[in-house]
A = this chain, B = another copy of it.
């Protein structure tokens, strides 16, 4: 570890342990340089690292300070979905959300787009141009159905970080993670089958269940630790569950990381009931901790976990490049991938192999993790400041989405209608439930680097939510009991 990293870690621990308190002035650069026997520039670098992770803030001409404690909304309680298999509703609103092209005047806090304006993505742009230039059109032919070998080699290497040893020959490139999920559901389940899912759960996965005629069995989920294993076991005793579909790392929309012990326990449960697990790891690389958390697949001893992921959240969604590590189901996955869309486009795969293989991925990801962590704190603070009193919010451990829970009578679908004239949209909570629950919740994206614009948007959402809550309360009071 470099000296400035060591120093940053030491100082960071002291702040976290409370040796320096919010509002305290930290030792000057000169003092630390003398105390630790390091150069001025090493201390400056250490402070920059701490600044990047939001632990210190510089004040002009006064030095570095521990930021005033941000206000953190309370966590939502364990969710309580309907614990029986249900068909998935809510398509119309999802369609409305995904049909609109991005950009324009609307601030789309509801979308799952990462920050794609980061300078650390410049090498990716070069790699795309190289791929376009280098290829003399031959690369415009059909790839093999498994996808580019050089890219699969890079993915195989990256997966080591999550504790997985998956050779390139056991990976299949897909059109984003969405295709990995859709293809897996087709390969494993028959129409009418029951799939156990965490709740709330990614709307794209649920719509895939719907499209394949599958039923969702929503399992109560704790916003800090993930799906309730007790509830899952009860559900598996009661119903013929064919597949468990989860996002254990940097969950969308709740942001938790399931502790390793619980990942192991979940795998044991799946083994007992002989059920495969589809693990969505699309946000796993964006965990704020280092090293990144392990995947359930890394504990897998009998190849029953299918891990789906993509570069959509870590690099750019427009590359439409994801993958699945299907374990024992490789042949079935290849079949359904071929049927779904044939092979994947070679050029983005070439470019990604160059970007990752050229050593640009890791620094980019480190930068994004720090940025998103900082933004999480800001967004939590804004929710505390601008939303009605009593609003709860998730405490994401990775990714770039905040889940917000308002009073039970709140209605995020109506809020979105009100916000249209304000030029802001959020993701209404009910699209994250198979049965239309969580209408009193919403999800907001904090990836965007234009912080002033985002704060203004959140302020508008908060004002709208406050007004709507007051309206709904008045209405409730005026109605005869």
Contact = CB atoms under 8 A, between A and B. Distances in A.
Copies in the complex: 2
Interface in A120-175: 121-122, 124-125, 128-129, 131-133, 135-146, 149, 174-175
A471 B174 CA distance: 44
A335 interface: yes
A125 B135 contact: yes
Nearest to A345: B320
Interface residues of A, number: 72
Contacts of A186: 211
Contacts of A129: 129, 132-133
B138 A132 contact: no
Given A125-B137, A132-B125, A346 B318 contact: yes
A344 interface: yes
Given A138-B116, A213-B191, A182 B341 contact: yes
Contact of A342 (B144, B146, B176, B346): B176
B144 A339 contact: no
Contacts of A204: 338-339, 342
A34 B208 CA distance: 70
A138 B101 CA distance: 13
Nearest to A122: B137
B345 A318 contact: yes
Contacts of A336: 211
Given A113-B142, A320-B345, A345-B348, A178 B340 contact: yes
A150 to B, nearest CB: 11
Contacts of A346: 318
Given A125-B137, A191-B191, A143 B211 contact: no
A37 to B, nearest CB: 42
Given A175-B175, A176-B342, A137 B124 contact: yes
B140 A136 contact: no
A176 B103 CA distance: 25
A347 interface: yes
A178 B179 CA distance: 13
A309 to B, nearest CB: 14
A27 interface: no
Interface in A171-209: 174-176, 178-179, 182, 186, 190-191, 204, 207-208
A343 interface: yes
B339 A340 contact: no
A99 B318 contact: no
A142 B211 contact: no
A425 to B, nearest CB: 14
A269 interface: no
A214 B331 CA distance: 20
A125 to B, nearest CB: 6
Given A175-B175, A178-B339, A335-B211, A116 B140 contact: yes
Interface stretch (A73-81, A90-98, A234-242, A461-469): A90-98
Contact of A335 (B207, B213, B318, B319): B207
B128 A94 contact: no
Given A121-B140, A179-B340, 18 more contacts: A91-B335, A95-B338, A99-B146, A101-B144, A101-B149, A102-B142, A112-B142, A116-B141, A117-B137, A124-B140, A175-B175, A179-B341, A191-B213, A207-B335, A207-B338, A211-B335, A317-B342, A341-B341
27 contacts: A91-B335, A94-B338, A95-B334, A95-B338, A98-B145, A102-B141, A111-B142, A117-B137, A117-B138, A129-B132, A131-B132, A137-B316, A140-B319, A142-B318, A174-B341, A176-B341, A178-B339, A182-B340, A190-B213, A191-B191, A204-B338, A204-B342, A211-B336, A211-B339, A318-B347, A320-B342, A347-B348
The 5 closest A-B pairs by CB, nearest first: A140-B316, A101-B144, A140-B318, A128-B132, A175-B341
